[in-house]
Amino acid sequence: MQAVAYSRPSALESSAGGPRLGLETSRGATPRGIEDHPRFFAGFLTHPQVASAGLLAVADVAAARYHQRQSPASLDPVVTGNGDRLRFESFSGCCGVYARLDVLGEGLDGGDIGHGTTNVDVNNPLREALSRIGADDPLHLRVGPDELAVTTLDGPVVEKKVPLPDRWLRGFAEAQVLASSFELRAELPAAEAVRFLRSLPRGTARGASRGVQWVVPAGRALRPTTRPVPGAVCLPGPERLAALQRVLRHATALRVYGPAVTGGAAAASAWEVVLPGMRLTLTLSPETSRGFSGEGGVLDALATDEAAQDAELIAVLLAWEPRIDVTDLAAASGLPAGRVRAALVRLGTSGRVGYDAAEAAYFHRELPYDAQRAERHNPRLRAARDLVAAGAVALDGDVGTVTAEDGHVHRVRDDAGTLSCSCLWWAKYRGGRGPCKHALAVRMVRREAAAGRQGVPVGGGAR
Rounded Cα distance, 320 and 30, in Å: 9
Residues 78, 205 within the same domain: no
Residues 207, 344 within the same domain: no
Q: Which H, E and C letters describe 162-215, residue by residue?
A: ECCHHHHHHHHHHHHHHHCCCEEEEEEEHHHHHHHHHCCCCCCCCCCCCCEEEE
In-domain check, residue 438:
yes
How is 295-351 classified by DSSP, letter by letter?
S-TTHHHHT-HHHHHHHHHHHHH--S-SSB-HHHHHHHHT--HHHHHHHHHHHHTTT
How is 26-69 classified by DSSP, letter by letter?
-SEEETTEEESS---EEEEESSHHHHHHHHHHHHHHHT--SSS-
Residue 415: give the domain boundaries.
378-450
pLDDT at 370: 52
Residues 251, 384 within the same domain: no
Residue 28 near residue 35 (C-beta atoms within 8 A): yes
Residue 133 near residue 139 (C-beta atoms within 8 A): yes
How is 243-298 classified by DSSP, letter by letter?
GGGGGGGG-SEEEEEEPPP-TT----EEEEEEETTEEEEEEE-SSTT--GGGS-TT
Rounded Cα distance, 282 and 269, in Å: 8
pLDDT at 309: 85
Q: Quote the pTM value.
A: 0.83
In-domain check, residue 94:
no
Cα-only R_g, the chain: 23
pLDDT tens readout for residues 58-99: 999 988 888 766 555 557 899 999 999 999 999 888 889 999
Rounded Cα distance, 429 and 412, in Å: 15
Residues 151, 282 within the same domain: no
The percent of residues in the chain predicted with pLDDT above 70, rounded, is 84
The CA-atom distances, in angstroms, between 220 and each of 83, 148, 189, 255, 410 are 35, 52, 7, 11, 49
Residues 216, 274 within the same domain: yes
In-domain check, residue 322:
yes
What is the number of structural domains in the chain? 4
Residue 55 near residue 89 (C-beta atoms within 8 A): no
In-domain check, residue 402:
yes
The predicted model gives 133-157 an average pLDDT of 67
In-domain check, residue 110:
yes
Residue 53 near residue 246 (C-beta atoms within 8 A): yes
In-domain check, residue 443:
yes
CATH number at 276 reads 3.10.150
Residues 211, 149 within the same domain: no
Q: Which of 9-13, 372-376, 403-407 has the highest mean pLDDT?
A: 9-13
CATH number at 307 reads 1.10.10.10
The predicted model gives 345-355 an average pLDDT of 84
371 phi/psi in degrees, rounded to 5:
-60, -30
Residues 281, 321 within the same domain: no
The predicted model gives 196-213 an average pLDDT of 74
Strand order in the sheet with 11-13: 11-13, 20-23, 139-143, 41-45, 108-109
The percent of residues in the chain predicted with pLDDT above 90, rounded, is 40
pLDDT tens readout for residues 16-36: 778 899 999 998 888 988 888
H/E stretch holding 140 reads strand 139-143
In-domain check, residue 463:
no
